[in-house]
Amino acid sequence: MQVNLRERWWIRDVEIPTRLVLAPMAGVSVQAFRRQGRRYGAGLVCSEMVSCAGLEHRNERTLGYLRVASDEHPLAIQIFGSDPPVMADAARMVEAAGADLVDVNFGCPVRKVTKTGAGATLLDDPERACRIVAAMADAVSIPISVKMRRGLENGSRTCLDVGPRLVDAGAASLTLHPRSAKQMYTGEADHALTAELVERVDVPVIASGDVTSRARAQAVLATTGAAAVMVGRGAQGNPWALREIVDADVAEPTREEIVAELVLFVRETVRELGEHRAAGFLKKFYGWYLGRGRFPRPFKQELVQLATTDEVVTRLFAAAPAARPLVEQLEADLPDTADEILLDQMPISIYGGG
């Protein structure tokens, strides 16, 4: 059965124009990445997970994750924590920043998150997990979504018990990555579990894990009944993968198109993070964009050694001079940025007016 990935769907009153969701990824899902994902067919984009403790203490860097651009919508901002009142306050800040949904992370398997009682650990504390969702749902008018794993241990079916309880507590959507926290990213995602979850809840379920092609997206949607699929690592430095999933028969990008997208990504990331932070942050992206046989390996290594992003851009244009007009067109199509506004008297830039 062929599924129309260009079909719109809803999370409560939020209309999502395609059945493809761009995953929240720590150290990846900056605003430039999300805006690119929307251009290439993602119906919903998500921020990387934001610490509710950082928001509570008005940490300026954490607050910076609440940037919302006018061309990102619909957008979910994901938060993590373990204290219901603090999570409720963080949800209010996410709503005030202009996000369309607030997503709560009950899936992160990384030790520095789980040791605080947050992330996947909450699947083994369903009472607290439900109190968190209920507190957030009471605090905001936008929908609450929850991203979770199957459970902590291999073979766990905890998600099938916890998922319906989270919906009863106020979750308007669930995302399931059917690997255990112990698995991290090894093995295969068991989407038979996703199908079981779909049968148990009356809200949209997003299927996450191992969706790397149009054929796989079609198969997962057809066999699980999920409302949408989530793509993560496959889109890193490869937005064309998103377009191929939603549209099929997409031509491989030219060298000029690859360079143009990378140059725009570099410039937009510098605008968001500043030169110092962006220079280090961007290094992993050079390999993602230029790999897959697109450019010689030494070229990526050359870029990593350059001291400034201006030098990187200059070298990219030297490698593909015809990319310049493509970048100019891409930049011309971006919406203007708006003035900064203050959220709770802290400097948070809300580009495009939220």
Distance of alpha carbon 297 from its chain centroid, rounded? 28
Cα–Cα distance for residue pair 270/277, rounded to 1 Å: 8
For residue 87, what is the enclosing H or E element?
helix 84-97
3-state secondary structure of 10: strand
Per-residue tokens: 180: 């255990």
Q: Is 159 a catalytic residue?
A: no
DSSP state of 201: -
Instruction: Give the number of other CB atoms < 10 A from CB of residue 332.
Output: 7
- Which of 46, 52, 108, 130 is flagged as catalytic? 108
Question: Alpha-carbon torsion 49, 55, 61, 64, what sign?
Answer: positive
Place of tokens 């290594």: 301
Cα–Cα distance for residue pair 173/16, rounded to 1 Å: 13
Cα–Cα distance for residue pair 207/220, rounded to 1 Å: 7
- Picking from 66, 63, 47, the residue whose alpha carbon sits closest to that of residue 55 is 63
Per-residue tokens: 286: 């050079």
For residue 151, what is the enclosing H or E element?
strand 144-151
64: phi then psi, degrees, rounded to nearest 5: -65, -20
Helix, strand, coil % (nearest 5) of the chain? Answer: 50, 15, 35
Distant-in-sequence, close-in-space partners of 9: CB < 8 Å, separation ≥ 6: 15, 16, 19, 43, 204, 227, 228
Distant-in-sequence, close-in-space partners of 84: CB < 8 Å, separation ≥ 6: 128, 131, 132, 134, 135, 136
Give the pairing type, strands 75-80 and 101-106. parallel
Q: Which residues are catalytic?
A: 108
